[in-house]
Amino acid sequence: MKIDVKQDVFSLNNVIAADNRALFNAKDIFTINIMGSPGAGKTTLLERLIVQICRQVSVAVIEGDLATARDAQRIAAHDVPVIQINTDGGCHLDAEMIAKVVRGFDLDKTDLLLIENVGNLVCPATYDLGEDLRMVVLSITEGEDKPGKYPIAFMEADIVALNKMDLNDYLDIDTNNLIADIVNIKPQIKIFPTSCRNGKIVGMDELAAYIIEAVKTKKQDKILRGQA
């Protein structure tokens, strides 16, 4: 009985996610769904990423939170269009929430849509939003053993930002064990060790280059398909 309800919810979500994906493809927008525990550093990573790429690609941001507009205010300070979704207690974003707000952006002038999901390493992983790429932000302060204990998020992700590397010297962990635990779940996942703290930036050039390349590749693929 419970399982039936879940399946209904998921299949409805998948229909709307497919609509979102069709819209993003029609408008040539590369979309990233960003998830991770509360306090993994998702918003700070987005802020840093925006600073590094906003001259090369035109960015829009959706912020998901149970409550407050704190994250949207931080993003808006970087002069980037941002929409805050408050789930009012809900534990994840779903495709319908995205569909309802996304036309609030000027989609013809958007290259990259960054969607920061609710801080939660469990529920967001099972909801497709129509994104092209899924990124988990995992703070090394969470310990070595999290990937195996929360496997679905990593199974469904394309890349991982292993964040807060600036704190590595102060923790009793070996990041090699952490990386091995991730790779054990999904061998082909791409891992970027990062730190986004002022004065201690690590790995953001590599992550920014990877994302800019992905945005360009999507546009080129469409041109090639149009010529074929």
Under the rule (CB under 8 A), what is the footprint of a second copy? 2, 5, 9, 37-39, 65-68, 70-71, 89, 91, 118-123, 126, 139, 141-143, 145-146, 148-152, 164, 167, 170-172, 197-198
Sheet of 112-116, strands arranged across: 82-86, 59-65, 112-116, 30-35, 133-139, 159-163, 190-193
In this complex, which beta carbon is closest to a second copy, that of residue 184 or of residue 217?
184
Minimum distance between the CB of residue 103 and a second copy, rounded to whole angstroms? 23
Q: Counting Cβ atoms within 10 Å, is residue 223 exposed (0-12), middle (13-18) or buried (19+)?
A: exposed
In this complex, which beta carbon is closest to a second copy, that of residue 56 or of residue 86?
86
3-state secondary structure of 56: coil
Minimum distance between the CB of residue 187 and a second copy, rounded to whole angstroms? 18
In this complex, which beta carbon is closest to a second copy, that of residue 97 or of residue 112?
97
Q: What are phi and psi of 139, to 5 degrees?
A: -80, 135
Q: Which helix (H) or strand (E) holds 25?
A: helix 2-26
Minimum distance between the CB of residue 26 and a second copy, rounded to whole angstroms? 29
Minimum distance between the CB of residue 227 and a second copy, rounded to whole angstroms? 43
- The Cα angle at residue 68 between residues 113 and 128, in degrees rounded to 5: 40
